[in-house]
């Protein structure tokens, strides 16, 4: 695992165009499976996996700058001036340039062909190592988070000093001898790379095995305990794009118990105050509905030898549990659910439902208008991957930027349908409030008969989520295709 920030460059043509008074540039910030020039010392080659990062599945606010200089700010994702997408080639971006000296200069330089490419800054969260045909170590980044990208003057020369600082955490890269003793791991990875186990690293103590920040020796066989170092749960449950795609976008309120309150901000009307006259206001009450939360949990089993001998199993376990709980959170947010004791409602039940003949631009535009009539702002269109793909096919490309962010909700690993086919939510997600337990909970057991017989450890993760509470039911528009 890597947490250092790294920078990479790409020589690939940019385009510039003017749309009315707005200057725009467009290009690829990242190209998939494209080997880099040698990086680091000793050298290694790097490529980015297509699965490493998807802007559709990650709400991270990405900056666009010129030459990595925030003084030459060009746009950002959260304001809508930077748009990102992925195709078979890589991650493309389009940026509306500001009417500033930097914006005008970049536009002119791209038009003239003086800026030949882009560079991007990222934090690698997982990678795999193999060997290039010439024997050079090959790093494939398999999971990362992009934080900044944009045009640069010299993309042919990556910022190798950053890369070197990141790689040194893994120790020196040794020469790979043709006569080196081979096993299944050495055939694929140069020894001593980060995350790769050698005999010197094997047989860790239980205090060295960390599960969501807790050592295995701390966890209890018959009770749940709070995970440590996980910050606030939404970030953990998003699991680097593999888990929840909604929880970081809605308004969530942390709580520690099973019951609590969610404060709802009312829509208040202001008045002009006449001079020397008594004030008259329309009073709007701040309400705080009480709630009960359902428990959402997942469990994995791990061979004890693997857990104690192979450090990457911690990452695999943490990611799998957080992703599973996060995906089920999305299911509850959309569909509601019950844990047998408590039943909660979701956006489909609480939103405003409209039957449409097709989910096309007109039906989406009408739903957006209804949200705006209520005082909200549509921030997302949520649906099954097939329905989201259908929208992309039906809506003219010139109109796609008039539609909020498209979010695909896949089915769960057990086949549970994440969102019904033919149903799409157009929502102001900031007006969707839920209570979420502040910490993820974990527990493990080795005492169960099946654990003893199979030499296994069973580890579970759990969080709690309340019913959806809407500031206004019109802020979630449910479009269902019907006769």
Looking only at the bridges linking them, the beta strands covering 405-408 and 380-383 are parallel
**340, 396: one domain:** yes
**149, 248: one domain:** no
Overall average pLDDT of the 424-445 stretch: 89
Which of 116, 144, 170 is the endpoint of a domain?
170
Q: What digits encode the pLDDT tens for the residues 240-254?
A: 678 899 998 998 888
Residue 155 lies in a domain: yes
- Alpha-carbon distance of 206 to 138, in angstroms, equals 32
Residue 176 lies in a domain: no
- Alpha-carbon distance of 348 to 335, in angstroms, equals 6
Residue 180 lies in a domain: no
User: Is 257 exposed, middle or buried (CB count within 10 Å of its CB: 0-12, 13-18, 19+)?
Assistant: exposed
**342, 469: one domain:** yes
**244, 137: one domain:** no
Evaluate whether 460 touches 334 at the Cβ level (below 8 Å). Answer: no
Which of 170, 195, 225 is the endpoint of a domain?
170
What is the number of helices (H) and of strands (E) in the chain?
9, 27
User: Is 246 exposed, middle or buried (CB count within 10 Å of its CB: 0-12, 13-18, 19+)?
Assistant: buried
- pLDDT reported for residue 315: 80
Examine the pLDDT at 191 and tell me if it is beyond 80.
no
pTM of the model: 0.57
Evaluate whether 211 touches 444 at the Cβ level (below 8 Å). Answer: yes
Evaluate whether 8 touches 36 at the Cβ level (below 8 Å). Answer: yes
Q: What digits encode the pLDDT tens for the residues 13-61?
A: 677 777 777 899 988 888 888 888 787 767 888 888 988 998 888 877 8
Evaluate whether 471 touches 317 at the Cβ level (below 8 Å). Answer: no
Q: Which residues contact 76 (CB under 8 A, 6 or more apart)?
A: 61, 62, 63, 64, 82
Q: In whole angstroms, how far apart are CA 214 and each of 224, 311, 441, 443?
A: 12, 14, 11, 10
Cα four-point dihedral sign 92, 93, 94, 99: negative
- pLDDT reported for residue 399: 87
**Listed range (106-120, 133-147, 155-169, 275-289) with the worst mean pLDDT:** 155-169
Tell me how crowded residue 22 is: count the other CB atoms within 10 A of its CB. Answer: 12
**307, 429: one domain:** yes
**263, 353: one domain:** yes
**166, 295: one domain:** no
CATH code for the domain in which residue 260 is found: 3.30.2400.10
Which of 170, 190, 224 is the endpoint of a domain?
170
Tell me how crowded residue 270 is: count the other CB atoms within 10 A of its CB. Answer: 7
- Alpha-carbon distance of 170 to 166, in angstroms, equals 8
**426, 346: one domain:** yes
Name the pLDDT band for 178 (thresholds 50, 70, 90).
very low
Residue 190 lies in a domain: no
**165, 256: one domain:** no
Residue 177 lies in a domain: no
Examine the pLDDT at 202 and tell me if it is beyond 70.
no
Name the pLDDT band for 9 (thresholds 50, 70, 90).
low
- Alpha-carbon distance of 311 to 307, in angstroms, equals 7
H/E run at residue 275: none
- pLDDT reported for residue 255: 77
- pLDDT reported for residue 343: 92
Q: Average model confidence (pLDDT) for the chain?
A: 80
Residue 476 lies in a domain: yes
Q: C-alpha 261: how far from its chain's center?
A: 27
Overall average pLDDT of the 337-345 stretch: 90
Q: Kindly calculate the radius of gyration of the chain based on its CA atoms and give it in whole angstroms.
A: 25
Evaluate whether 65 touches 43 at the Cβ level (below 8 Å). Answer: no
Name the one residue in this structure whose structure tokens are 């790769």. 196
Domain coverage including residue 128: 5-170
Name the pLDDT band for 166 (thresholds 50, 70, 90).
very low
Higher-confidence residue of 450 and 276: namely 276
Q: How many domains does the chain have?
A: 2
Evaluate whether 125 touches 145 at the Cβ level (below 8 Å). Answer: yes
**146, 228: one domain:** no
**454, 358: one domain:** yes
**Listed range (87-96, 300-309, 462-471) with the worst mean pLDDT:** 300-309
- pLDDT reported for residue 349: 95
User: In 60-154, which residue ranges form alpha helices assigned H by DSSP?
Assistant: 101-112
**153, 31: one domain:** yes
Nearest to 358 by CA among 442, 256, 251, 481: 481
Q: What are phi and psi of 251, to 5 degrees?
A: -85, 110
By 3-state DSSP, what share of the chain in percent is helix, strand and coil, each rounded to 5?
25, 35, 40
- pLDDT reported for residue 386: 94
Question: In the 8-state DSSP scheme, what is residue 431?
Answer: G
Evaluate whether 433 touches 251 at the Cβ level (below 8 Å). Answer: yes
Residue 33 lies in a domain: yes
Question: In the 8-state DSSP scheme, what is residue 400?
Answer: G
Residue 248 lies in a domain: yes
- pLDDT reported for residue 29: 85
């Amino acid at each position: 695992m890597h947490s250092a920030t790294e920078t990479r460059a790409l020589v690939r043509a940019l385009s510039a165009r003017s749309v009315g008074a707005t200057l725009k540039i467009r290009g690829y910030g990242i190209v998939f499976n494209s080997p880099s020039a040698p990086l680091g010392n000793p050298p290694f080659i790097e490529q980015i996996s297509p699965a490493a990062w998807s802007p559709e599945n990650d709400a991270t606010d990405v900056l666009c700058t010129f030459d990595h200089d925030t003084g030459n700010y060009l746009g950002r994702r959260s304001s809508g001036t930077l748009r990102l997408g992925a195709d078979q080639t890589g991650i493309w971006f389009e940026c509306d340039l500001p009417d500033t000296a930097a914006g005008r200069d970049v536009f002119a330089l791209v038009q003239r062909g003086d800026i030949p490419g882009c560079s991007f800054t990222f934090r690698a969260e997982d990678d795999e190592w193999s060997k290039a045909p010439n024997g050079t170590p090959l790093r494939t980044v398999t999971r990362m988070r992009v934080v900044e990208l944009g045009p640069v003057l010299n993309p042919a020369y990556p910022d190798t000093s950053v890369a070197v600082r990141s790689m040194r955490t893994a120790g020196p890269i040794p020469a790979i001898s043709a006569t080196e003793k081979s096993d299944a791991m050495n055939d694929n990875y140069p020894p001593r790379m980060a995350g790769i186990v050698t005999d010197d690293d094997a047989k860790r103590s239980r205090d060295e095995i960390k599960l969501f920040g807790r050592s295995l020796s701390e966890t209890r066989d018959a009770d749940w305990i709070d995970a440590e170092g996980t910050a606030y749960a939404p970030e953990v449950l998003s699991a680097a794009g593999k888990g929840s795609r909604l929880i970081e976008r809605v308004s969530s309120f942390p709580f520690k118990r099973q019951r609590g309150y969610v404060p709802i901000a009312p829509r208040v009307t202001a008045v002009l105050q006449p001079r020397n006259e008594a004030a008259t206001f329309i009073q709007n009450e701040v309400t705080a509905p009480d709630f009960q939360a359902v428990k959402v949990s997942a469990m994995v089993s791990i061979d004890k030898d693997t857990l104690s001998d192979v450090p990457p199993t911690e990452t695999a376990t943490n990611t799998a549990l957080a992703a599973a709980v996060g995906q089920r959170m999305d299911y509850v947010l959309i569909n509601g659910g019950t844990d047998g004791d408590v039943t909660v409602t979701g956006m489909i039940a609480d939103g405003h439902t409209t039957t449409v003949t097709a989910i096309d631009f007109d039906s989406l535009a009408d739903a957006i208008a209804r949200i705006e009539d209520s005082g909200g702002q549509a921030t997302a269109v949520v649906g099954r991957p097939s329905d989201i793909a259908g929208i992309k096919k039906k809506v003219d490309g010139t109109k796609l930027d008039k539609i909020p962010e498209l979010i695909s909700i896949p089915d769960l690993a057990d086949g549970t349908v994440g969102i019904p086919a033919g149903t799409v939510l157009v929502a102001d997600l900031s007006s969707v409030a839920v209570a979420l337990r502040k910490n993820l909970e974990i527990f493990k057991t080795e005492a169960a008969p099946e654990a003893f017989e199979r030499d296994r450890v069973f580890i579970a993760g759990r969080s709690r989520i309340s019913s959806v509470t809407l500031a206004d039911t019109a802020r979630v528009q449910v479009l269902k295709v019907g006769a």
